Structure 1
Amino acid sequence: MPTMATAAATANRRRKSSSARRDDDAPLIPILARKVREVEAKAQRGKLGPTNRVKFQVIAFLVREERARVKADENVSTAARAELLKRLDGVATILAKTAARDTSLIQLLEVDQATSPVAKRMRRDWLLESGAELPEDELIITDAAPVQSPVVPAAVADRQVTPPQVLARREANPFLAPDLELRAPHPTPRRRLDGWELMGPLYKAFETGAGGAAASMELPPVPEFDRLSPKGLEVMPHQSRFLEAVREGHRSFLLADEPGLGKTAQSVLAASVANAYPLLAVVPNVVKMNWAREVERWTPQRRATVISGDGDQIDAFADVFIVNYEVLDRHLSWLGSLGLRGMVVDEAHFIKNLSSQRSQNVLALAGRIREQVRDPLMLALTGTPLINDVEDFDAIWRFLGWTNGEKPGPALMERLDETGLTPADKAFYPAARDAVISMGIVRRKKKDVAADLPDKLVADLPVQLDDEYGRSIRQAEQELGERMAARYRRIIEARGDRVLIGEADDDIVRLVSSQELEESKAAGTGAENVFTMVRRIGQAKAVLAADYAAQLQRSVGKVVFFAKHIDVMDAAEAHFASAGLRTVSLRGDQSSTARQEAIDAFNNDPDVAIAVCSLTAAGVGVNMQAASNVVLAELSWTAAEQTQAIDRVHRIGQEEPVTAWRIIAAHTIDTKIAELIDSKQGLAARALDGEAVDPTSSDSVQLSALMHLLRQALGAA
């Protein structure tokens, strides 16, 4: 008589046999089911980047292809056919649910075939994994010949200007000297990894912090003599090591030093070491004047010119051309034909959105420079290269020529090939991360390279909003939470489920919160939503924060006061004036000259007590180390913006410990936003610094805050 164990084993074998027969009819379906779950998981975490979009497209195509094959296969029984179609419908349902979560995917469902080389390789690999026999023309997939896009997109062609001085320069030298080292590229040899999809694994290598070490390439030692600093200045050791790498021939860098470590000075001197003139610096508007000063300061033998408006006042014979992102689109034509030998993108995280015109302008110019010059100097500067997701690297890597978005460039591919590994090997990921780092990622932290730089502390100061205005804010928060909760309950009831007190379906919470966020963005300031609520909190805190800053100033000296909205700045300035304190203001509507005069007055005039600064307009490229205390009257929506603001004070030249005082409205959504901002610091720590930080959601702070409010209203917070 068989034992219970024997009976169970027999039943298990029968189940496996049944499953094997079922999969024998369509061995591709289990692969599609596994892949679609991977895409769904990424979408739920808000990490559906370019690689997973291609995967989504290939799954959709193969589902259609497999459905047609199953229907036409006469060797499959009617019952088996019905079962296989049911399983394919399950995969298609998950695709539809994922597309509902991210509506930009819907257009990929309508594509009849996966046409890009990456998609074709992905399809081929999955079919081979399923045991399919493919014709030879589907086994060998070649990359399409690159189509050179014009440096001036059609959308901005009618805006192009040519400053008079540029015409004079052309007349003085009508022929652009050819780069004799720039030869026709040799055919790229076939490499072992050519058949692999590699962008996803590269992002994963950084996302997991594979390898555990800081993301910084090996740099040469500090030279024995400082051969670069002009009289009266001195290059710091960490800057010297970077410049030695340039001297040894390295030409593309993601310079991701923490804010305040002198990235501008390193870039200016790197251009001198590499003789990368003419040099173009694309920078935020607020730092154009500072860039011109740094060129004059560190390379006094070189001339810099700042491009404003139509560029009527520029010096076309200068060595360094400085332009802000906002006006770059007018000057693409003549900059593309100037013969630039180097390009710097300051605050390079500004170009992370590849669909923006700003990003496209920068990438088009970078491509033109690489066409004209062999090994140009290409520098991407940002202390915060990652904002929400590791694929924020994408645009920066494209700018540097390391990848083209679909696959690694030849130099990076060669380094990956030298590892002898493939993405199927666990050891590939730390090796791949090291290969990308060796392309030119330089990341130094203040605590590592500037031992004499004081520490910084972020201290939260909760304030009570006890007046009628404060009570109305808390009431508005409750009403917003209840509005979302009502929508949540309607969805649950329509689905036929019971609403359970104290419990919440995470998918529906996300769906309702996402819908509320989209409606809030569309409504702007015309209706009560999360944005108007946070603004009202800032207004309610304005005088409280200003009063604290005034008290702080009396005990510690100069203070930098940051706010996000103009009306909060206005209220603070009025309070400081009534207290007899002299202030300067840094706002987005100032000219570069007025802004620099305000900065100089704050740093040099002992009678200027407080600088009232816009969090967005003065958060980058501003040196205010005359103060060691910062007051953050309003919170940003990103950790990076907060860090940038604090580092206007915590930088080279600072001689005292730095404290940033965050004014938090207690018992409001302000408290949750501060918590979420702090949690976002983990992404950069994990990807760039190799720290063992628990992964956090890549959802925006706005979405996470709304989800928190909804859960709170449902009693499930």
Structure 2
Amino acid sequence: MATQRRRRSGSTRTGQRSGNRVRNRDNEGIIPVLAMAVREVERAVAGRQLTSGQRARFQAAALLARAERANVRSDESLTPAQRDTQLKRLEGLATILAQIATREPSLFSLLQEDAEVSDATRRLEREMQQQAGIEVEDEPEPEPTYPLVGRDRTALPQSVVQAQLANPFQVPDFSQTAPKVHGYLAGWELIEPLLNSFEQAAPGAPASMSLPEPRPILLPDGLDLMPHQARLLAAVAEGHRTFLLADEPGLGKTAQALLAAQAANAFPLLAIVPNVVKTNWAREAKMWTPSRSVTVVHGDGLDVDGFADIVVVNYEVLDRHVGWMGEHGFRGLVVDEAHYIKNKKSQRSQNVLEVSDRIRQRVARPLLMALTGTPLINDIDDFRAIWQMLGWIDEKRPGNVLMAALEETGFTPADHAFYPAARQSVVDLGIVRRRKVDVAADIPARRIADLPVELEGAMGRSIREAEEQLAKRLVGRYRAALEHRRTGYSIVGVDGIDHELVRRVAEREIAEGSESKTGDNVFTMVRKIGQAKAELATDYAVQLARSAGKVVFFAKHLDVMDTAEEIFARRGVGATSIRGDQTRKARDEAIDSFVNDPDTHVIVCSLTAAGVGINLQVASNVVLAELSWTNAEQTQAIDRVHRIGQTEPVTAWRIIAAQTIDAKIAELIDSKAGLAARALDGADEEATSTADVQVETLAAILTEALTEAADD
């Protein structure tokens, strides 16, 4: 926290009231600084060049404007006229901020009282205060139980304190001591030669460590492992504890990591993941390791279960939790999409490296896994942070295990033979890389992978409130209709609900909603959910494009497509699109660019305009950013990629907004198609109309609301 002391010159408090003096006062203080910041963000939004830095500037300006309004209201030295003038200027700024957010809806979440405040935002706040002549002084913080490493915000959830008090001592694992290092390479610079050994690798050099044959493993009912997954678990069972798991997307890295922790008894386990897959990690943990409890860290972690076996945290909030996570006694660490830490100078990378280092200090042989389909983004130097996180190297030299392996080669960097031998030494530490085409016999030719995401911020709250209002409206209609039918004949189920009447109420709601263009009906809510998922779905498509090649991105609504294309442009990912209003020539040019241009990584497609009649089999990954109302439309979209001539297994990543109507729609689509038909190609599917799914979705919402009301 910080306090601010204003520097005011005596002249501003004199009785002079000249026009020149008033104009000088207008140009002093924090308000002119905020106005400049707001104008800069406004220009960025208008030019569709909104960056993360501009988002931080927007939030910093909003926070400072809010604080200044409180200061002006409480400043007794101001005359009523001066106070009114300052408040009007601040109201003007607030209006502009709201207008900017209207043009860029993703900014609305930054205006909320409970919005997360990043380090970049805090830094910009201080800079603006200093520009305004405000002295910012640090307030004394209470002595923490762990060292602070340049962080503005830290958290220590009460449940974590209770867990640590319940188990204050951890038995170290010294089952295998570190290998002895003789030291003849001690004077050599080795990190650069190690990196060079990968950059200059001979064609056909092994990219993956040797893995043992699969062995039997006890799995939850209904689940099975593919052979390539079982081989990695066999290595864990034999005692291997560090892995750079670089399998291509769709080959089950999450399941391998969770089951590896089970095989190594590496609990409690910490998983550091991107925000877009945080919910999916919790779901996968419950599926693959049902006997283990899992908790997800949100914000300051007030609802964290400190006794959980598996803790999932996203990169964006990790800085608040590094302290207690370093002391919690984790015996395993998984870093998902580990290429996120390629820049060692970033705060994100430093947080991850600190957690890893502190875990390795407390546990002699923890399970450490870096998961990424793209271990290298820019150049060979991207390996550094991942290797350091795994403990293979430190800042300047190889770790003991790698150093011992290098010395066993008998070579030095002056010897040509050192480089292939050194590369193999690193690979043997745990690099595992399999491609879809290499394990094609192990996986279905087509599969749909659901990726649940949490809708947070103002948009998420708005959607949940709209769903609550919809449920209340449906219940009201049901009760009114039931009262009207008291003298008539009705069929009431064993649960006390007239399900025929429920369906009639749902049909009426659908009929009125399809005619209405305003209000919160099922169609407007589905559209809002699509808008809220757009950025998360696009983020995941960016990851796929960088790790697995070309990606087909499907959406229903134009505004979702627009958002996706803007984000792809900001991220430097080449993209083209297929829309319903295109000419045939423009459509053909877009397809040709995607198929033949190596710099066009993504094609953004309308579900209705591009669902049939085109061939996009140059890709093997599909992102379904919005759900269709029928499985047939979804299947048609996937079949643009999964068709004759496709040489690789196809994975369709379906982005689903957890705990919303989105999840109910997905469940109904699946029930109509059949889970087995989704997992295996070629199975017959039950014909289902759009209206059926729409009505049954609302019927499910109404039935659930009536059941909850009866329970209350």
TM range (shorter): 0.3 to 0.5
Normalising by structure 1, what TM-score? 0.47
Normalising by structure 2, what TM-score? 0.47
